Amino acid sequence: MTKKDADAGYRYQMTMKMFGTHAEPAFETRSQLESGWGRNWGCDTDVGQLRVVLVHRPGNELDIVDPSKRIEETGTFGDIEEGWYWQSDTIPPADDMRSQHDALASALGDHGVEVVYMDEVGDRMLKSCYTRDSVVAIKGGAIVCRLANNLRRGEERHVSRTLSELGVPILRTVHGTGMMEGGSFTWLNSKTVAIGRSVRVNEEGIAQVEEVLNRQGVEVIRVDMAGYQIHIDGAFVMVDVNLALINPVQLPFVFLEKLKELKIDTVDISPTDDGWIVNSLAIAPGKVLMPEGISNRTHDALDRRGVEIVTVPYAAMQLNGGGIHCSTSPLLRDSID
C-alpha cells in the first residue's frame, strides 16, 4: 500500500468516526421526514386532522365521452376500441361535474386542508378524478397502487409524477400480478389496517402492501367483499376515533365481529339513505364531508355521537362510479396517538 492510499484510508476512517452512518432514527420519524423530505408525509389514521389531500379536477379527458355509444346490455356507455367506459345510464354535463368537484375542493380548503392537484392525465382516463384508488398513504409516505381495470392502467404513472413533484416518498409500487386499489384500504387505528379483497384487489396486491406495513408494526385484516363489490369504502368509512359509518348488509359478519373486538363502534346507514352517504371523508376527528342525501335517522345517530356533518352536492360526480371518499387521497394527516 502506498502512502497516498494509506492517507486516503485514514481520512475515510476519520470521516466515518466524525459523521458516521446510522440506521436510527427510522425513516418514518418526523425529524427524518422533515429534514430529508420537507414534511412529515403520510398517515396512520383515517380520522386525524387532514392536512394535505390529492385530487384531480375532471378535465379534457371527459371530451372522449360520446352519448351515442350506448351499451344496451348494461345501460351504460363506452367504446372498447377507443378505450373508455362510462359507468352509469346518465352522462351529466362536464361542467356540472367540475362545479361539484370545485365545491368539494372549496369545502376542504375552508376547513384548513391543503388541496393539491394531480398533473394532466391521458385522454381516456375518465376515472382519474377518483384519486383514492391510485395511491394510499401510510406512515412515512405513499404506496402507489396497481389498478385492476385495464382502462385505468396508466393513472399510476401520473400520480407517481405528482408525488415526486410534491416530495412525497414512494415506499412501494405494487407490481407483478398484484392488484391493489386505495378504495379498499382503510386505517382502523394506527396499528391496524383493513383491506377489502375483491374483484379489484387480489391477495398478491394485499401481500405487497402488507410487507411494507408489517415492517412498521401494522397488522393487515383481510375483508372478503361479497360478489362483485369493488371497494370497502362503499360499505365502511371511519368518521371518528373508534367510530365508523357502515352499510352492514355489505360487510361480512366476521369483520363486524372484529370491529367489536377492536372496540370500534358503528352507525348503520338507514335503508332510506342514498348509498353514497357511506363514501364520505373525515377531515378531522368527528368532522365529516358528506354528499347530500343523508336521512334524518342517520344524521341524528351521528349527531348523538358528536359527529359534525358538512354536506356538498356530489350527485353528478357520483354518476361515473365514485363519491367524495373516492375523489380524495389523503397524503398527510395528524396522528391521533
Q: What is the predicted pLDDT for the residue at 13?
A: 74
What percentage of the chain reaches a pLDDT higher than 90? 91
Tell me if 299 sits within 8 A of 309, measured CB to CB.
yes
Tell me if 233 sits within 8 A of 279, measured CB to CB.
yes
Res. 280: pLDDT tops 80: yes
Between the alpha carbon of residue 85 and those of residues 80, 88, 141, 149, 284, the distances in Å are 8, 9, 32, 11, 35
Q: What is the predicted pLDDT for the residue at 19?
A: 67
Peptide bond into 25 cis (omega under 30): yes
Q: What is the predicted pLDDT for the residue at 120?
A: 86
Res. 6: pLDDT tops 70: no
- The architecture in CATH of the region 27-333 reads 5-stranded Propeller (3.75)
- Mean pLDDT of all residues in 263-284: 96
Q: What is the predicted pLDDT for the residue at 34?
A: 95
Q: What is the predicted pLDDT for the residue at 154?
A: 94
What percentage of the chain reaches a pLDDT higher than 70? 95
Q: pTM here?
A: 0.94
| Single-letter code of the amino acid located at 22 | H
Res. 231: pLDDT tops 80: yes
- Mean pLDDT of all residues in 84-113: 97
Q: What is the predicted pLDDT for the residue at 236?
A: 98
Q: What is the predicted pLDDT for the residue at 4?
A: 66
Q: What is the predicted pLDDT for the residue at 22?
A: 82
The residue that leads in pLDDT, 201 or 10, is 201
Res. 8: pLDDT tops 80: no
pLDDT tens across 22-77, in order?
888 999 999 999 999 999 999 999 999 999 999 999 999 999 999 999 999 999 99
Res. 171: pLDDT tops 90: yes
Q: Is 226 exposed, middle or buried (0-12, 13-18, 19+ CB in 10 A)?
A: exposed
Res. 18: pLDDT tops 80: no
Q: What is the predicted pLDDT for the residue at 122?
A: 82
- Mean pLDDT of all residues in 107-112: 98
Chain-wide mean pLDDT for the chain?
A: 95
Beta pairing class for 192-197 and 185-189: antiparallel
Res. 10: pLDDT tops 90: no
Q: Where residue 119 falls among pLDDT bands split at 50, 70, 90?
A: confident
- Mean pLDDT of all residues in 179-184: 98
DSSP string, 192-256: EEEEEEBTTB-HHHHHHHHHHHHTTT-EEEEEE--TT---GGGTEEEEETTEEEE-GGGS-HHHH
Which residues does 126 contact at the CB level (< 8 Å), separation at least 6? 61, 62, 64, 65, 84, 85, 86, 320
